[in-house]
């Protein structure tokens, strides 16, 4: 039961859980916060046996591990001894370290240090890459389509822009949701609905408050699971585990999700926007717009060909080994107090996916700031690592 829920939470829970397993004094949030003020902590300062990833920010180590896990289609135990991540007992871990060094060298020697080749380039979701082309399995139908999908698979894809200028899609989207004035009028929102992981449906409450606070309470039978962002920091709470801080890419995503005026803020988020042609999302045509951000990973936005509404957003988490994608599909747009908002969305990452269906929305209701505040860790939760 607990296991099902955790796997359902996918990537987020995985990190939370692993954080707790690794936990101990090293990952105590208090100490981390202090160090953060003085500059980000390095991987080797937080973990015990870092060789290949020396010098990378400590909070990118677990995202990098997720990236490897997704690239090879394996679990953490493929390389790690349970409860002792620092040990090098498994041959696969030793190989993986060599692979990291190989990957860095390939990119350094052939691609001017740009991270063009990653674990996924060769592994494609399997521990042993295939080096031989496949025989033709069936009559090649729509091979052009497949190629298009391939090309679209990455932030750099679709370089040759075509069609109307990209800004126009951002404008149309803002109009489609009700226009800047209507959007700016929303100062808080309370939503009730259901979150679905696989075949489990759990009630959820989501509160947002201007300018950038958001919290969700998933009412599991074990207690509430909480994901919160207060405009500066974010935290995750799962019943029976110590509260965990959100890190880099998750904070970036959380601050976007928390923005009640996202549609109005899009333009100013980007240093450059490019229209990148049309793609099918389900049955419908959508325009792809790629937005570059200063010092951050790009966003891919898909706008419905007819309504102009945002139907898909793909963002990327930075790791030293490659980018971890998060895709959110928005649907069931309805009017809520003068603006159109999606009543359903599906969030998918390499490690899992869930769908939220909203049934009730209230705009501009009072939302107590206390809801976003990080609770003090309950006593008994801090005793140390693995249980
Ligand atoms: C394909 C092999 C592989 C997989 C799968 C993998 N790791 Fe790792 N992990 C490594 C390697 C290699 C290192 C050491 C990196 C270095 O030398 O800088 C490492 C280091 C770590 C460390 C630092 C340990 C320390 O104290 O030095 C942690 C924590 C960790 N991994 C967690 C995870 C988690 C959690 C998962 C599953 C999400 C995972 N790893 C999946 C290969 C792997
Ligand atoms: C240039 C291609 C390439 C890249 C990039 C690459 N690998 Fe590999 N990797 C291979 C090949 C090929 C094998 C299989 C060798 C064999 O079959 O003996 C392999 C094998 C492995 C194995 C051993 C699997 C087993 O079952 O024993 C691990 C672990 C691994 N790679 C991890 C990684 C990680 C982690 C990365 C990214 C840091 C990575 N690889 C990047 C090509 C690559």
pLDDT tens-digit map of 146-201:
444 444 444 444 444 455 689 999 999 999 999 999 999 999 999 999 999 999 99
DSSP secondary structure of 108-160? HHHSTT-----HHHHHTT-SS---SPPPP-S---SHHHHHHHHHHSSTT---S
DSSP 375: P
* Higher pLDDT pick, 357 / 245: 357
| Ramachandran sector of residue 280 (left: φ over 0; alpha: ψ -120 to 50; beta: rest) | beta
Q: How confident is the model at residue 133 (pLDDT cuts 50, 70, 90)?
A: confident
pLDDT tens-digit map of 297-318:
999 999 999 999 999 999 999 9
pLDDT at 38: 57
What does pTM read for this prediction?
A: 0.81
pLDDT at 332: 98
pLDDT at 158: 43
The pLDDT of residue 28 is above 60: no
Maximal C-alpha separation, the chain: 63
Residues 208 and 372: beta-carbon distance below 8 Å: no
pLDDT at 248: 76
pLDDT tens-digit map of 245-287:
888 778 999 999 999 999 999 999 999 999 999 999 989 999 9
pLDDT at 44: 97
User: Is the C-beta atom of 73 inside 6 A of ligand 2?
Assistant: no
Compute the distance between CA of residue 225 and CA of residue 243 in angstroms, rounded to an integer.
10
User: Is the C-beta atom of 58 inside 6 A of ligand 2?
Assistant: no
Q: How confident is the model at residue 3 (pLDDT cuts 50, 70, 90)?
A: very low
The pLDDT of residue 15 is above 50: no
The pLDDT of residue 144 is above 50: no
Select from 51, 79, 81, 320 the residue to mutate for testing ligand 1; criterion: most ligand atoms less than 8 Å from CB: 79
Q: How confident is the model at residue 381 (pLDDT cuts 50, 70, 90)?
A: very low
pLDDT at 165: 83
pLDDT at 247: 81
Q: How confident is the model at residue 387 (pLDDT cuts 50, 70, 90)?
A: very low
Domains of the chain: 2-123 (no CATH), 167-372 (2.50.20.10)
User: Is the C-beta atom of 99 inside 6 A of ligand 2?
Assistant: yes
Residues 158 and 277: beta-carbon distance below 8 Å: yes
Name every protein residue with a CB atom under 6 angstroms from any ligand 1 atom.
14, 18, 22, 47-53, 61-62, 65-66, 68-69, 72, 74, 76, 78-80, 85-86, 92-93, 96-97
Q: How far is the CA of 219 from the centre of ligand 1 (A)?
A: 32
Q: Residue 41's closest CA among 62, 25, 19, 56?
A: 56
| Tokens 């932030």, located at residue | 155
Residues 67 and 14: beta-carbon distance below 8 Å: no
pLDDT at 261: 96
DSSP secondary structure of 150-219? HHHSSTT---S--SS-THHHHHHHHHHHT-HHHHHH--EEEEEEEEEETTEEEEEEEEEETTTEEEEEEE
């Amino acid at each position: 039961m607990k296991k099902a829920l955790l796997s359902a939470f996918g990537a987020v829970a995985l990190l939370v859980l692993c954080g707790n397993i690794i936990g101990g004094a090293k990952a105590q949030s208090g100490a981390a916060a202090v160090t953060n003020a003085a500059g980000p902590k390095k991987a080797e300062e937080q973990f015990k046996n870092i060789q290949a990833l020396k010098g990378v920010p400590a909070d990118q180590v677990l995202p990098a591990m997720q990236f490897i896990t997704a690239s090879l289609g394996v679990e953490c135990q493929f390389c790690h001894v349970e409860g002792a991540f620092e040990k090098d007992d498994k041959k696969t871990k030793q190989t993986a370290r060599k692979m990291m060094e190989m990957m860095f060298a390939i990119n350094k020697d052939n691609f001017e240090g740009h991270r063009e080749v990653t674990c996924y380039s060769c592994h494609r979701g399997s521990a042993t890459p295939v080096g031989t082309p496949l025989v033709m399995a069936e009559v090649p139908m729509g091979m052009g389509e497949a190629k298009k999908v391939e090309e679209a698979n990455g932030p750099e894809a679709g370089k040759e822009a075509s069609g109307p200028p990209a800004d126009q899609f951002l404008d149309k989207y803002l109009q489609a949701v009700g226009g800047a004035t209507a959007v700016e009028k929303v100062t808080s929102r309370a939503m009730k609905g259901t979150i679905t992981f696989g075949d489990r449906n759990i009630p959820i409450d989501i509160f947002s408050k201007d300018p950038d606070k958001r919290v969700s309470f998933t009412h599991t039978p074990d207690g509430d699971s909480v994901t919160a962002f207060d405009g500066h920091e974010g935290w995750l709470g799962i019943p029976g585990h110590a509260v965990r801080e959100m890190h880099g890419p998750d904070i970036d995503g959380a601050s976007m999700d928390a923005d009640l005026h996202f549609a109005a803020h899009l333009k100013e988020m980007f240093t450059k926007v490019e229209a990148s042609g049309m793609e099918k999302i389900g049955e419908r045509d959508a325009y792809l717009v790629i937005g570059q951000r200063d010092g951050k990973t790009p966003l891919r936005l898909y706008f419905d060909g007819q309504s102009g509404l945002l139907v898909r957003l793909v963002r990327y988490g930075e790791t030293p080994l490659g980018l971890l994608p998060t895709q959110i599909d928005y649907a069931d747009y309805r009017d809520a107090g003068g603006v159109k908002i999606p009543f359903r969305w599906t969030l998918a990452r390499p490690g899992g996916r869930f769908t939220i269906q909203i049934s009730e929305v209230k705009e501009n209701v009072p939302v107590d700031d206390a809801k976003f505040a990080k609770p003090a860790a309950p006593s008994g939760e801090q005793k140390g690592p693995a249980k």
